[in-house]
A = this chain, B = another copy of it.
């Protein structure tokens, strides 16, 4: 009997989204559970119970497998390794795929990091449909990436390939959570945009709606830009230029057809996309000037990661 369904699970710092998905990518059932547990086993039990519950009518035996997208998820080992954003995986290795599989009677569990899952979702259902070479860049709290070459996701020697958020954007620049300085993630993530705001406010004396605000977020910067705030608009423009410079460095590696942007920060694309493309084309070697598309994801954000994760399980 052909198994018709898979479960796709997108694990984030706050919640995990679970979906039961058919071959066409239709999500038949959804559930959101908290990930804020200190104990990995507690979370994995809750997840496996949820999957059992959600498949009660179709039967667990009709599930082809479970695909999981998680921060620092390793495709080769099935582990989640030192995920700073997950309370139960901070500073340690959780044998996630193995443990979840045991609780689901040996069902196959495949795991990868969240950005890779987004790239797979994009290729199957989104803006990269039909593409064989592209780079998915996720612009969320951090900057992640999933790289597809010749139709296949790149995992590399150890399963951790595609950490473009931790390449150097500004030599000797801002401290990054990873321990290095000047990583792309420190400038072009939501938190990076907020850091740029604080920096610019302290450096300039220009008027801005952001002045005097506490704990500025990228959403604050976006709202200010929408109201015509010049400083906010400049923050996004500079963010775009830094991204473009770095993209110019990624292109000679894999010669992608497109670079696809995914995640919360893309809502502000009107304020940075043009600058990004201009700076990318200025800085890339002549072979690719004007030749690499920069697209915004065609996936519904809340579904994308579920679909990407589910695609792993086919």
State A254–B252 Cα separation when bound (angstroms): 13
Asked whether A167 is an interface residue with its Cβ less than 8 Å from the other chain, the reply is yes
Chain A residues touching B, majority SS: loop
State A149–B161 Cα separation when bound (angstroms): 10
- In this complex, what residue of B is CB-closest to A150? B152
Q: A168-B283, A245-B168, A283-B180 are in contact. Are A160 and B253 (CB under 8 A)?
A: no
State A313–B162 Cα separation when bound (angstroms): 31
Contact across chains for B254 and A286 when beta carbons are under 8 A apart: no
Q: A253-B147, A255-B156 are in contact. Are A286 and B178 (CB under 8 A)?
A: yes
Which residues of B have CB within 8 Å of A132?
157
- In this complex, what residue of B is CB-closest to A132? B157
Contact across chains for B157 and A252 when beta carbons are under 8 A apart: no
A150 CB to nearest B CB, Å: 7
Identical copies of this chain, number? 2
Residue of B156, B179, B255 near A254 (CB, 8 A) is: B156
Which residues of B have CB within 8 Å of A57?
none
Which residues of B have CB within 8 Å of A180?
283-286
Q: Restricting to A223-263, which residues have a CB under 8 Å from any CB of B?
A: 245, 248-250, 252-257
A256 CB to nearest B CB, Å: 6
Asked whether A206 is an interface residue with its Cβ less than 8 Å from the other chain, the reply is no
- In this complex, what residue of B is CB-closest to A152? B150
Asked whether A171 is an interface residue with its Cβ less than 8 Å from the other chain, the reply is yes
Q: Restricting to A131-168, which residues have a CB under 8 Å from any CB of B?
A: 132-133, 147, 149-150, 152, 154-164, 166-168
State A179–B158 Cα separation when bound (angstroms): 36
A258 CB to nearest B CB, Å: 8
A119 CB to nearest B CB, Å: 14
